A = this chain, B = another copy of it.
Amino acid sequence: MKRIAFLCVAVVMVAGAVALTTSASGHSDEEAAPVYGVRVPHGYRDWRLVSVARVGDPLNDLRAKLGNDIAIKAYREGKLPFPDGAIIARLAWQQVTSETIKNAFRVRGGTETHLSPEQVEKLADGSFVSGSPTNVQFMVKDSKKYASTGGWGFAQFNDGKPADEATHKTCFSCHEPAKDGDFVFTRYAP
């Protein structure tokens, strides 16, 4: 019995050490992206929603921005610049058509709304859901480490693999027009 108790304590201690290691690093063990050295942050898919967006042809994607706790708190308090430690994730998926949803619009449109059949068809044609993921991007705030790029480090991963150096060299110049918003385009969606 004592041995079992000892084993249990040992297991809990090892589990605790593993948990500490994971949360101390705060990111996956996968490869760091070039230029800024950002890795995929651990558990980012569980972060809270900042907002959603859509990008037109030829990208044709649907996007969600998620924020870690520091980023969400800053967004909700309207604090700019974002404090160190804030991370914003941009997920994107190809926009695809759902015939099930289109048919639902047609059924409902035909019986319960004031839309004409032509209007319902237009609504259905312009409706999309998310398909395959395209890539994931991160903005990591560290005002000292990334002082020359507005305090932000940028990264893009395609299926867990970092995009190339050339891609990462375009990040900051693209975000410069959002200087008034601390180089972040996305506003919080209530």
| Tally of A interface residues using CB under 8 Å | 55
**A62 near B55: Cβ-Cβ < 8 Å:** no
B residues less than 8 Å from A103 (CB atoms): 177
| Minimum Cβ distance to chain B for residue A186 (Å) | 7
The residue in chain B whose Cβ has the minimal distance to the Cβ of A46 is B48
| Minimum Cβ distance to chain B for residue A52 (Å) | 5
- Residue from the set A46, A101, A123, A130 with the largest chain B CB neighbour count within 10 Å: A130
Q: Give the docked Cα–Cα distance between A56 and B115 (Å).
A: 13
Task: Please pick, from B53, B98, B123, the residue contacting A185 in the complex, using a CB distance under 8 A.
Answer: B98
Task: Please pick, from B59, B63, B95, B185, the residue contacting A100 in the complex, using a CB distance under 8 A.
Answer: B185
